[in-house]
Every structure is written in structure tokens, then in C-alpha cells.
């Protein structure tokens, strides 16, 4: 990967000697120092996103940045392209945002006013949704869809969650029931659900804090989806927090100027969000910590499944 990163840096006129690996998650992110400041050089995981999907992501991010949202701004290469293919690896360059990530695995590290933080994040997501609704995507715009097929269809975006090997027979039976009920609920409620472009991954690792400012990074999974799914993604990592009810209320309050949030719909999205991680971990089970992450995903999802099956929507 180092060789590819060095080749890619040259395409943007950056000195390969001044890049360092900053993060190795789904993508490899290198911090590149240039005459106009720091940048994030992203080497995308092969096969995860097409060139058209990546260009669409960057066009969307550029619009959000132009609209005043604190997100990284794409930087065209010397060839005028937002995305370059370097030896079969798709690469792009973004401005480097100041600050630090909020925390890992849902921890609100160093956040004194936890409810204030959630209100701020709710307002940030509302602004993202407003800007996206006011935008007309260019021809050829394509991003993944967190919709009925993408969540509970035969080929969900993050894989068949019901095949997770850490599920018991009882778990699988409950999942089958919940999947059927949730699918019917989504189809019945679809005309009234707020649907559009969403970040889809506003976890603590992807929210940056710099003094009193919040910004969003990593739009890799952003696409078309239910707006309450964005809120559910934030809240899923907070379920075990002692102040979860207050955090949930604060997030909704921050979002409220855009739209009132229905509690039942949000609970449905929380369950659906939890199910996605059961599928996401399957191809990653052999990675370091994969089994532990799978067991955590099961421990998070199944109580939500049982609560949903006990509720009025079932």
C-alpha cells in the first residue's frame, strides 16, 4: 500500500516523503502535508465502491462543504479528476479537518456536556438532510440505498445478517419473525417516511470535535436512506449508557427544528441498524477481534429484536 500511496501523492502534486499512515480501517487513510496544509489521501478498499459511486460521494461532499457544513472538501488531482485509479486501487484526496474524533465504540471522550453534544449532533444531521434535499444530484449520481431491499431484502447491503454464525437457532427464528414484520412495516409506512441522502455512519469515530465545532467525516457508506436511520446509527452505540434516555431526547431535540421524530419509527430503525452489523462482521470474522465484534453485535441486536416483537408494531 505504501507504494500506491506514494504514486497517488504525486498525482496531486504532493511530496511522497511527506505522507504518513493515519488510519487503517475500511480504507487506508494517509495524512499528506502540502504547501496549502494537510490533506487526507484515501486508498479505498478494492471492490467496495465503484468509481461512479466514489465520484458521487465526493460531488455530494463538495456540495455540503459549499453549503457551510463542516465536512472534508474533495480536491481534484492535477488531471482534474476527483478519483484516480492507481494500480487498481481507487484514490482520492480530501482536506484535513482540525480537531479529534469524539471517541471509540460510542465513548463520548472528554465531552463534559453530553446532552449538549447530542443536541449539536442532531442539528448537524438536520442541516445535512436539509442541504441534501435542496440539491439536485448531477446525472450519473449513484450511491447505496438503505431502503427496504437494502435492509431486509434477500441481499442486504451489508450481507445476510441471519447467517451470522454466532446466532443460536432461537435467535434465527426470532430474526426471521422480526425481519418479516419490519419489512411489512417499511412497506406500509414508506409514503410517510422521510427518505433521502443520509450519512449512515455518524458513529463517534466519524464525528470530529474542535472546540465548540462538530464536523462529519467518512461518507463511505452514505447514500439514500431513511432519515431516522441516521439518528439510529448515532444512538445504537449509546444504548448501554446510563444517561441514554437523556442522550436520545437531546439528539431528537437538536433535530426537531427540521422534523418531529416518531418514537416507534426510531425504535424500528434502531433494530434494523443493529441487524446490519450482524451481516457486516461475517466476512471479517477472521480479522483480529472479529469474533469478539460478532458476539457484541449479537448481544446488541437480539434484545432489540425481542423488544420489537413484543411491541405494538409486530
DSSP SS3 for 270: helix
Q: Is residue 269 within 8 Å of 229, Cβ to Cβ?
A: yes
pTM listed for this prediction: 0.95
What does the pLDDT profile of the chain (314 residues) look like in tens digits? Answer: 678 999 999 999 999 999 999 988 888 999 999 888 899 999 998 888 999 999 999 999 999 999 999 999 999 999 999 999 999 999 999 999 999 999 999 999 999 999 999 999 999 999 999 999 999 999 999 999 999 999 999 999 999 999 999 999 999 999 999 999 999 999 999 889 999 999 999 999 999 999 989 999 999 999 999 999 999 999 999 999 999 999 999 999 999 999 999 999 999 999 999 999 999 999 999 999 999 999 999 999 999 999 999 986 54
Q: List, in order of start, the domains of the chain with CATH numbers.
A: 2-96 (3.30.200.20), 114-310 (3.90.1200.10)
Q: Where are the beta strands (DSSP E) in the chain?
A: 19-24, 28-34, 37-43, 84-86, 89-95, 100-101, 145-146, 195-198, 207-210, 213-216, 223-226
Q: Cα separation of 238 and 243, whole Å?
A: 9
Amino acid at each position: 500500500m505504501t507504494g500506491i500511496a506514494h504514486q497517488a501523492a504525486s498525482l496531486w502534486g504532493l511530496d511522497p516523503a511527506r505522507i504518513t499512515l493515519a488510519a487503517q480501517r475500511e480504507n487506508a487513510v494517509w495524512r499528506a502535508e502540502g504547501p496549502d496544509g494537510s490533506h487526507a489521501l484515501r486508498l479505498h478498499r478494492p471492490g467496495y465502491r465503484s468509481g461512479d459511486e466514489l465520484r458521487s460521494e465526493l460531488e455530494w461532499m463538495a456540495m455540503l462543504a459549499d453549503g457551510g457544513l463542516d465536512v472534508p472538501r474533495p480536491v481534484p488531482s492535477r488531471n482534474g479528476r476527483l478519483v484516480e485509479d492507481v494500480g487498481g486501487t481507487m484514490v482520492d484526496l480530501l482536506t484535513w479537518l482540525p480537531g479529534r474524533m469524539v471517541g471509540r465504540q460510542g465513548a463520548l471522550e472528554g465531552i463534559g456536556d453530553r446532552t449538549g453534544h447530542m443536541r449539536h449532533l442532531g442539528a448537524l444531521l438536520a442541516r445535512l438532510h436539509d442541504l441534501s434535499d435542496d440539491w439536485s444530484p448531477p446525472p450519473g449520481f449513484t450511491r447505496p440505498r438503505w431502503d427496504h431491499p437494502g435492509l431486509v431484502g434477500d441481499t442486504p447491503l451489508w450481507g445476510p445478517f441471519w447467517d451470522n454464525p454466532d446466532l443460536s437457532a432461537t435467535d434465527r427464528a426470532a430474526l426471521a419473525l422480526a425481519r418479516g414484520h419490519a419489512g411489512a412495516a417499511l412497506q406500509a409506512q414508506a409514503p410517510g417516511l422521510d427518505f433521502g441522502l443520509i450519512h449512515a455512519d455518524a458513529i463517534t469515530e466519524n464525528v470530529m470535535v474542535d472546540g465548540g465545532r462538530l464536523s462529519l467525516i467518512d461518507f463511505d457508506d452514505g447514500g439514500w436512506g431513511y432519515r431516522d436511520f441516521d439518528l439510529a446509527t448515532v444512538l445504537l452505540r449509546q444504548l448501554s449508557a446510563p444517561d441514554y434516555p437523556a442522550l436520545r431526547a437531546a439528539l431528537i431535540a437538536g433535530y426537531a427544528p427540521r422534523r418531529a421524530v416518531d418514537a416507534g419509527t426510531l425504535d424500528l430503525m434502531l433494530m434494523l441498524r443493529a441487524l446490519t452489523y450482524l451481516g457486516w462482521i461475517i466476512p471479517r470474522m477472521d480479522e483480529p477481534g472479529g469474533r469478539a465484534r460478532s458476539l457484541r453485535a449479537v448481544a446488541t441486536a437480539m434484545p432489540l429484536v425481542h423488544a420489537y416483537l413484543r411491541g405494538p408494531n409486530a
